[in-house]
Amino acid sequence: MTTTAGSMLSCNIDGAVATLVINRPPANTLTPELLAELSQAFDLLAKDDAVKAIVLTGTGRFFIAGADIRVLASMSSSREGEMIALQGQAILNQIEALEKPVIAAINGVCLGGGLELAMCCHIRLAAEGSRLGQPEINLGIMPGFGGTQRLPRIIGQSKATELILTGDPISAQEAKALGLVSQVVPPEDLLRQAQGMARTIASKGQVALRASLQAIRKGVELDLRDGLALEAHLFGGLCDTDDKREGLAAFLEKRQPRFVDR
């Protein structure tokens, strides 16, 4: 089934997997309007019980090349700039907080707001030849949609500071070495691999998926002691679910589990 969330975003739903494709030629630059469409699309998918995993990608050679320069140039006050940053952060936070896994299939250039968008996704795959970075410093500004906060948490403070202060992009292979992406695949295989991973994840019990995402997302904001306590609490909650009973029974009976998501 194919639906359209807006002129810059298309959505294809195949079974339990939704694929969102950014299509704003020539470079898929990020605008407030595109951010609004993304927010609307993710809100609809969050409410669709049939969708259990989401793939986000772009068209052509671009995931997102960065923010629209015309939008940046039009900002004439500190208050306006702050409001745009807060709007972008809120929408990316919305995606990160989704209780369904989101896989970014980075199909090419992924810079500035594009990398910030990719970083709020739960898993990132990149095509060979992709370039990733935060080049805002070259424009006399800085990341405003979470780049200064998420990048150090993902790759460490020293390297994140280097990339933000130099504005230099890195290759997909270096991004994998840093842990910024989990896999680098040939461009022609990227979408197939991402959708295959999404189908694998979608086949798991949704109660356990939600609990796992919550533990990972909230745990990084806690110290180890509190993170372990959160994990224990969530683990305990899963031990009284139909999916836990089915999963263990299926393992003992040497068959595939039939999860009911409760």
pLDDT digit string (tens) for the chain, length 262 residues:
444 445 899 999 999 999 999 999 999 999 999 999 999 999 999 999 999 999 999 999 999 998 888 888 888 899 988 999 999 999 999 999 999 999 999 999 999 999 999 999 999 999 999 999 999 999 999 999 999 999 999 999 999 999 999 999 999 999 999 999 999 999 999 999 999 999 999 999 999 999 999 999 999 889 999 999 999 999 999 999 999 998 999 899 998 999 988 8
Provide the pLDDT for residue 219. Answer: 93
Q: Which entry of 37, 116, 188, 221 is annotated as an active-site residue? A: 116
Which CATH number applies to 206-252: 3.40.50.11540, 3.40.30.10, 3.90.1150.10, 1.10.12.10?
A: 1.10.12.10
Task: Give dist(CA 64, CA 223) in Å, integer.
Answer: 34
One-letter amino acid for residue 179 of the chain: G
Residue matched to tokens 């796992």 = 212
Provide the pLDDT for residue 6. Answer: 52
Q: Which entry of 136, 221, 231, 253 is annotated as an active-site residue? A: 136
> How would CATH label the architecture of 2-202?
Alpha-Beta Complex (3.90)
Residue matched to tokens 């040939």 = 186
Two structure tokens written together for 65 = 């090349």
Q: How far, rounded to the nearest angstrom, does the alpha carbon of residue 5 sit from its chain's CA centroid?
A: 18
Sorted by where each begins, the domain ranges of the chain are 2-202, 206-252
The reply to whether 116 belongs to the active site is yes
Whether 66 and 177 have beta carbons less than 8 Å apart is answered as: no
Provide the pLDDT for residue 131. Answer: 97
User: Would the CATH topology of 2-202 be identical to that of 206-252?
Assistant: no
The reply to whether 33 belongs to the active site is no
